[in-house]
Structure 1
Amino acid sequence: MVKQLLAGFVLLLSTLTVRAELVVEVTQGVDAPSPVAIVPFDWSGSALSEDVAKIVSDDLGRSGFFKMMPRENMLSTPHERSQVFFRDWRISNNDYIVIGRLIPAANGQITATIELYDVLKEQLVWSETVNGNSSNLRDVAHYIADQVFQQLTGIKGAFSTRIVYVTAEMLGKDKYRYRLQMADSDGARPRTILESKEPILSPTWSKDGSKLAYVSFESTRPSIYVQHLATGQRQRIQSFKGLNGAPAWSPQGDRLALVLSKDGNPEIYVLTLATGQLDRLTRHYGIDTEPTWSPDGESILFTSDRGGMPQIYSLHLPSRDLKRLTFEGKYNSRGRLTQDGRFLTMVHQDSDGFHIAVQDLKSGRVDILTSTGLDESPTIAPNGSIILYATKKGGRGVLAGVSLDGRVRFTMPNTQGDVREPAWSPFLQ
């Protein structure tokens, strides 16, 4: 079963306003993607609101790791093992085939039985029965795609996660409508979390995925808010004079790292939410900003120009030892770590502009992953496979993605306004 299929999020999504969807366009995949066929799933009831097999196929295809077989090229549409003639699928150059059956169950439930076969070995690789209903078929499909992805790559799938991002729609001269949006990882089912005439910045997920923190200018000055996604309840946390920005949740979810200029200069602080205790971490005449936590909660990474140009530093909290992490290039900012703590993604400037780069903290090697020149705000999928970021396409702000090795690339154009400030959710339980 799909572990309640993100029931709280389904309830939330059904109550919020629908907005224009992002559309994922894969621009580059791996050199030799595995050929996979997702056969249309059998269903004998009335028309369903979603084509589950198509969503699974689209998810896997967008990952760039697989070459999906078009339905019109399939010689047959088997739904059970006895109907699968492996020779036909080998002739069609498929390595794997997924078949499935959707069956009406009691109380409006739908039972999905899914089977993944290795065509060359003619063996069952994985099968599972998943329970859902007509309102959460897209969640069922993402779950199935996650399982197939993990079986074929060894990497936990992240199709069932969510993304948030900010859109800015021009209404007239110097007038904008800003929206904080939440959507599926593929951009589908976008919903508005907050709408404002004033800018919204730096959305960030709590580690359990139940809350967002972000910066809003709705009171004409920057303030940090925490919003509970299940209820919509929002709270403005302590607000100080000057800059209140760049919130980042601790792995334990009890503290926020943030940037304050209440003492005249932007510095990094940590706020304990339960008590309101505020601890100042940095003291330097340079600008310290963009904090993020290490996965173990022992260190905070941040951007500082204390060396003359922006670079990324790490502050070990127990010892207060400070270490500079980036040296290649004159500008590195917005550092984010993969969950294993090994790879650091960042915005890196070279002679061609601002790109997304990744640094192996073990070897020190830096790889530039993108070729566009105005890239910003990287955020990493919880399985560490894809970096989502904001860039420009046709003069408009869009989201784009690139794999950690640079071999998979895609864009996510939006039909309404500029898109910016993406943040990828953790795995949702």
Structure 2
Amino acid sequence: MTTAIERRTRLLGPHMTTFYRDPVHVARGEGVWLWGTDGRQYLDCYNNVPHVGHCHPRVVDAICTQARTLNTHTRYVHDMILDYGEALIAKFGHDLTSMLMVCSGSEANDVALRMAQAATGKIGIIGTDNTYHGNTTAVSQLNSSKVPVGGYQTHVRQVPSPDTMVPVGGSREGQAEAFAKGVEQAVAELEESGHGVSALIVCPYFANEGFPTLETGFLDRVIDVVRKAGGLIIADEVQPGFGRIGSHWWGHDKLGFSPDIVTLGKPMANGHPVAAVVTRHEILTSFQEAFKYFNTFGGNPVSAAAAMAVLNVIDDENLADNARDVGAYAVELLSELATRHDVIANVRGSGLFFGAELWRDGKPATDLCAAMVDEMRERGVLLHSVGRYSQTLKVRPPCVFSHENADQLVQVMDDALGAVK
């Protein structure tokens, strides 16, 4: 009999990513739980797309109700996108008053880069050397995991990313200045080449870089450098946004800076393909004047209804507060666990985005981290790894995660560490 993996390989290609040595064949989800086709139940400590929990009934009902009423594109006038846009914009400051809805974070970042080029008349882009911003041709130029065919284009610069265990410049105290010097060098190179600087794009939580512990104001000098060169600041909030980090709704507010453009994606509609770019009105206008842009599915009534339901559930169920409280509790449990397992070199995080960095014999414990991911899957807890060497266990569950769920996570991690070490 042909297995699901064999069918997948034939239909989707041999390198279509799966998690875990023994991939989980999922059948259904609810809240923080996933069930496999074999009936086994898993605690989902990884998926941030179902932000308010897998299959939240209010989101499902909103999708069904709107689908029964109307679904079309934005060349017709409909109220749902306007209602949602006003509710979303109310969550922002910094004169960010306009938005454009798309279908994925990749699209959002692609549009954001073009917005910056339209607004500045320049094409140079700066990102970090250990990041991910999506899959389009333009955005893939910023990704660090695979060099694009033909190499990186000359208008792109990658600067050394901040890190907790191996900070840029050699010390955590000097890391902000060292990071700024890297950006200064990138600015100088782009200006000398004639490209100029259109934008710096960063995730304000530096999620794919391993979410290093950074102080408010970390990016202040970097932003001064970029703006002095005429560039804009793009905050990729696809991972830290919508209250996940607990202390703030947005990562840029936690770091204390004012972005010119914000991109949103994964958790925006709890799994329905919705993303957006939020910016100032004049930047959106300059983009629309420079590019003939239309998105058939972006901002359709069903997508907007799903996204509106997510906003309402976050507020009504106090999920940002829950992220703050449960995340702090989980980090406390992990810190205590670190006293019993010397391979845990650092515990860090904010809200329901946290983890434990593993080192052994003075080096990142990449193999141990990979073994832990699979061992925990075997014990019914799903998480994954992140960091330059994939040495950090990454925990980023639905925001309905509870104290009891945190207890289970840390107990299983304790048992798994004992088994794999």
Q: TM-score, normalised by structure 2?
A: 0.25
Mark the structure with the bigger radius of gyration. Answer: 1
Judging by fraction of residues, say which structure has more strand: 1
